[in-house]
Amino acid sequence: MATYKEIDNGSWKSFGKTLLSAKGSERQIELLQSCRDGKDAFLQYLNNNLLNEKNVIATGKGIFLDHKFTEAEFRFPPIDTQQIIWDAFQEVPRQNMGSCGFWGSIVIDMIKHDCISPDYLASNVNGVNETGVYMLDNAINSDDSKKIDECVRRILRSMGNPEPRGKRIIFNDFYLGKAYWRWNWSNKMSNEINLSFKEILSTLDDKGYAKFSEKMHTGKSYISQTNTFGGLLLFMNKNPDTLVKSMEKIIDNLTYLSIWKAIEIQSPELTQAEIENLAANLQ
Amino acid sequence: MSNELILSFPVLKQDSGDFLDSISYTAIATQYQNDRKLVITHTLKGESFIVELLKNQKAGFSVTLFYKDNAERQNFICNDWNYDEDTQEIVAEQNIDIDFSYAPEITPCIVVTGDEKIIVNERSGLTDFWKNEEFDIPTFSRIAYHLKLQFTSGDVSSLLNVQCDKEYQDGSIKTKVMETAGEGDQPIKIICAQDVYDELKKQVIDLPYDAQTAMRKAIITQVLCHIYAHMSNLEDKKDIHSGLLKHMKEVFDKTGENWEDESNFNASFAATRITPYAISALNKENR
């Protein structure tokens, strides 16, 4: 297996942990200020506090995501940008694609090559006008340690750092990772069930993907079995309104069922029928 | 798996009470890291209705692999096995390619492949509780379990990866704990200078008898102290590498130091009390 360039995951996590050890600390302000001051200052900060340490970068093949993002595009990659992300990482093994250190290295290289500006990392995904610059200024000039800490957490999440939410951040929170994994699941499952890549992508829209990926990376990871996930997708495709109403309960029931029944070996179609029954009983 | 689930058919698992003591199902896993292969061996012992279902191709051995970091699950069924009349043993072997550099969690079981009705007789392998009973087993029911298989024993030596950095000054050691390392990975990395590395390769004994042996013990104590302090400060001590979890239990059992009581946890004390320090299995390619 080829090795790919990535930040040592232990060092990457320690970097986040140190930053989050005290809310509103000088250390946090220093990060925010460097992010606000632009590329050179931010890279200098990373060099001083992370990259200059010995053995922090595991050398290997580098992947360069050669695309100049707008801020909005970085936060919510539209479909054509998702295609660019998917294409760029086609050759990379899934193990690397789930590695926080790999994505951290990708984001730093994107900043180095002006594909994104460091302030994008601070954008607030929940606000329409809350640009990274706005969020950074707001935090830097604030006495509210919670606000400062939240901004630091947002930056770490946008770089794929695991400290704020663990390794699952790559699948759930981190914009580029989410886009990649949604396409990866759609591609994989289109070879397993009778739905096209586009149909699955559409079923796994932002809301659908969020729901499934949340479950897959918690105790309900049972649903990531190919046959089980296939059954869920077939059901969702036929009953798109069910997502909000009862998908969570359906997944809970499936997980419970799996204790005694090996639903992972029954076909997606049989699982779909099983889910239809579960859903009917929930109403 | 929940222990509280009550089913209308018997299930072969540890302490279930459904089957005679002579009936058992075990599975072992061997990982060969060099060629990225996993060999799972299932063994079903004793005469039982499960043997009959397997012989009639109405049941199969199943194994689920879970690559935790990627939430990827894979399932493999095996219907090919050998039966030894003399020992009344069915043995099945599965050879599986590993897709990731870390080892998966492995959950083996035996599954029925269709709806079955069983009329209990003296060859069913069941306890008196089931005498003269009839029961139905629905398609895809798991009728025998083995506990989830994991690779590390929890012994501290199985958790350590020691590397030498020739540029380090004599006596230097750097210890990193990666508590969320993948299954099969060694979650503790020690990078040290050549002189320390040379000492760590030698046997460390419980009762030092000269300056050299005392120094070796001190190096390990220092490393363990760092590791325990790190582990003690973790906010989430549950969702971590299974080997570390086992080791934490071992530390508690041997030293009485309670991980749940962070403010009173004494990392130095625990480090001086934990044994053995044998690091003979360092970085073996085939573990």
Q: Does A218 touch chain B (CB under 8 A)?
A: no
| Banded model confidence at residue B53, pLDDT cuts 50, 70, 90 | very high
B67, closest residue in chain A (CA to CA) = A95
- Beta-strand pair B116-119/B134-137: antiparallel
Cross-chain CB nearest to B73 (options A11, A171, A221): A221
Residue A165: predicted pLDDT: 85
Task: List beta partners, residue B137.
Answer: B116
Give the N- to C-terminal CA distance of chain B in Å, as an integer: 28
- DSSP states of A69-124 as a string? --HHHHHS--HHHHHHHHHHTTTS-HHHHT-HHHHHHHHHHHHHTTSS-GGGGG--
Write out chain A residues lying below 8 Å of B62, CB-based: 262, 265
- Give the residue from B100, B242, B107, B227 showing the smallest Cα distance to B183: B242
Residue A282: predicted pLDDT: 81
Single pTM value for the model: 0.77
Residues 6+ apart with CB under 8 A from A125: A75, A76
Tell me if A222 and B5 make a contact (CB, 8 A cut-off). no
Tell me if A259 and B138 make a contact (CB, 8 A cut-off). no
Q: Does A22 touch chain B (CB under 8 A)?
A: no
Residue A137: predicted pLDDT: 96
B191, closest residue in chain A (CA to CA) = A55
* ipTM for this model: 0.86
Distance from the A29 Cα atom to the nearest Cα atom in chain B, whole angstroms: 24
Structure token digits, residue B76: 């493999």
Instruction: List, as ranges, residues 52-91 from A with C-beta within 8 Å of B.
Output: 54-55
Looking at per-residue pLDDT, the higher value among B237 and A233 belongs to A233
Hey, is B41 helix, strand or coil?
strand
**pLDDT greater than 50 at residue B287:** no
Cross-chain CB nearest to A10 (options B64, B73, B176): B176
Residue A271: predicted pLDDT: 95
Structure token digits, residue A217: 């990376």
A167, closest residue in chain B (CA to CA) = B69
Beta-carbon contacts below 8 Å between A and B: 80
Looking at per-residue pLDDT, the higher value among B37 and B182 belongs to B37
For the residues B101-108, what does the mean pLDDT come to?
A: 80
Query: Which range has highest mean pLDDT (B73-82, B222-231, B234-243)?
Result: B73-82
Alpha helices in chain B (DSSP H): 49-55, 156-159, 194-200, 211-232, 242-255, 267-273
| Banded model confidence at residue B235, pLDDT cuts 50, 70, 90 | confident
Hey, is A269 helix, strand or coil?
helix
Looking at per-residue pLDDT, the higher value among A270 and B197 belongs to A270
Q: Which residues of B touch A (CB under 8 A)?
A: 1-2, 5, 7, 11, 62, 64, 66, 68-75, 77, 99-102, 109, 111, 138-142, 165, 167, 176-178, 180, 189, 191, 239
Residue B48: predicted pLDDT: 96
pLDDT (tens digit per residue) in A223-277:
889 999 999 999 999 988 876 668 888 988 898 899 899 999 999 999 999 999 9
A97, closest residue in chain B (CA to CA) = B70
B179, closest residue in chain A (CA to CA) = A10
Hey, is B225 helix, strand or coil?
helix
Tell me if A221 and B178 make a contact (CB, 8 A cut-off). no
Looking at per-residue pLDDT, the higher value among B54 and B240 belongs to B54
Q: Does A112 touch chain B (CB under 8 A)?
A: no
pLDDT (tens digit per residue) in B253-284:
878 888 888 778 888 888 877 754 433 333 33
Residue B120: predicted pLDDT: 95
Cross-chain CB nearest to A221 (options B71, B101, B191): B71
